[in-house]
Amino acid sequence: MGRREEAGFDRELADLPADLRWREWLRRIEAVLFASGTPVARDDLARVVGQGASVDLLIGDLAEDLEGRPYEVARVGAGWMLRTRAAFAPAIRAAADVADRALNLSEHDLAVLAAIAFHQPISRDGLKDIFGKEISRDIIGRLAERDLIGTGPREPRRGAPYTFVTTETFLAAFGMQSLRDLPDPEQLDDAGLSMP
């Protein structure tokens, strides 16, 4: 998204009555979220509304406006995005060409992704300890190519290995606002889904 101020762009809309000004700011927020394929941060949304406007209140009003619609505003990481409500996924798959958006990950890829999500930041050696074998660079490459993982912090020692962490794309792909939305490992065990 462009970060420069558009010449002649009136953020404040001081010539409009308060209710129309709020409605216009709300529509601007919606337009920005609609146009973006990734979550949009508060600071970026604040660039399209007046200085005294609360982005959080505008997002709240937008969420209320979208009640009963097939899409919703969702908090993802440090930003917001518009996404289709889960109830409409079968209709979309039946009628739209969304195959290029599917994750298409194998069971083993998903297990590695889950291990990274639950143990991040984690190094290749840490993954090897979990799985009992070296994780192929192809798996790491597929996860990174889909922007589901990125590189994390390195220990402050010379030659320390890179670590892996999940990304905002991971959160969006799995419908989470933050990593706190990950299921508890004990709950997974109780459900018969053991965590690597």
DSSP assignments along 47-75, one per residue? TTS-TT--HHHHHHHHHHHTTTSSEEEEE
Q: How confident is the model at residue 1 (pLDDT cuts 50, 70, 90)?
A: very low
Rama region for 111: left / alpha / beta (φ>0; ψ in -120 to 50; rest)? alpha
Residues 6+ apart with CB under 8 A from 63: 72, 73
Pick the residue with more confidence: 6 or 140? 140
- pLDDT of 4: 56
- pLDDT of 95: 85
Q: pLDDT tens digits for 8-38?
A: 899 999 999 999 999 999 999 999 999 998 8
Residues of the chain with pLDDT > 90: what percent? 64
Residues of the chain with CATH 1.10.10.10: 18-91, 103-190
Fold of 18-91: Arc Repressor Mutant, subunit A (1.10.10)
Q: How confident is the model at residue 102 (pLDDT cuts 50, 70, 90)?
A: low
Q: pLDDT tens digits for 56-74?
A: 999 999 999 999 999 999 9
Please tell me whether residue 142 adopts helix, strand or coil conformation: helix
Question: Does 3.10.20.600 match the CATH number of domain 103-190?
Answer: no
Sign of the torsion formed by the C-alpha atoms of 10, 15, 18 and 20:
negative
Pick the residue with more confidence: 89 or 5? 89
d(CA 75, CA 171): 10
Q: What is the pTM of this model?
A: 0.67
Which of 32-36, 115-119, 160-164, 192-196 shows the lowest per-residue confidence on average (mean pLDDT)? 192-196
- pLDDT of 2: 46
- pLDDT of 196: 59
The answer to whether the CB of 80 falls within 8 A of the CB of 39 is yes
